[in-house]
Amino acid sequence: MTMTAASATLNSGAILLTNGASLKIGNGTGIATFNISNGVLRTDNDLRVGALNRSVGRLNLAQGRVDVGFEFYVADEVGSTGAVVVTGGTIEATNAAANTRIGQRGNGLLILSNGLVHFDDVSVGRHDTSRGSLLVVGGDFECGTLSIGRFSNAVGMVTVAGGVLNVVDGSLYVGREGNGSLTNL
């Protein structure tokens, strides 16, 4: 399922992407926005927000849940922009080996003000062209391992101004090989 220069809202019910299906929000020119005010979005494969070069993708979760089966990339490709805003509800991996990249190769942002975000391996600023930002102002952000500025020339910034950043059973790397900052206000 691909959204290009479109806007969609899920008020209730469920969207289930199965048999290897993935969702790309922002997969071309224009801005694509997916708003979830309640209900369930589940993919047994990838969820990519800002998937292609020059694409802009936005995912807004107010209530409900988003279940990701495999990879969760925010700003997947060079020149892409992706933003995820969680004001309530839950985003989590259904597969323990799922990876999350906030700024895979583009400019990615995840803001958590309420709710739960739970993944195993999280990178904020992954590759050399990436700029990733994670802002936790409320809610609970849980992960196994957190790398901020993962590879050479990547830039990652994490700010905790409320809520909880919980790294469980893993490691926390700030500037692992790239440029990273962690600020706790």
Q: What is the pLDDT of residues 21-74, one digit of tens each?
A: 999 999 888 899 999 999 999 999 999 999 988 899 999 999 999 999 999 999
Q: Are strands 71-74 and 47-49 parallel, antiparallel or unpaired?
A: parallel
Q: What is the pLDDT of residues 89-133, one digit of tens each?
A: 999 999 888 899 999 999 999 999 999 999 999 999 999 999 999
Cα–Cα distance between 104 and 126 in angstroms, integer?
5
Cα–Cα distance between 125 and 73 in angstroms, integer?
11
Q: How far is CA 13 from the centre of its chain?
A: 22
For residues 36 and 89, the answer to whether their CB atoms sit within 8 Å is yes
Residue with tokens 């802002």: 135
Q: Name the DSSP class of 50.
A: S
Residue with tokens 């925010």: 74
pLDDT for 167 = 97
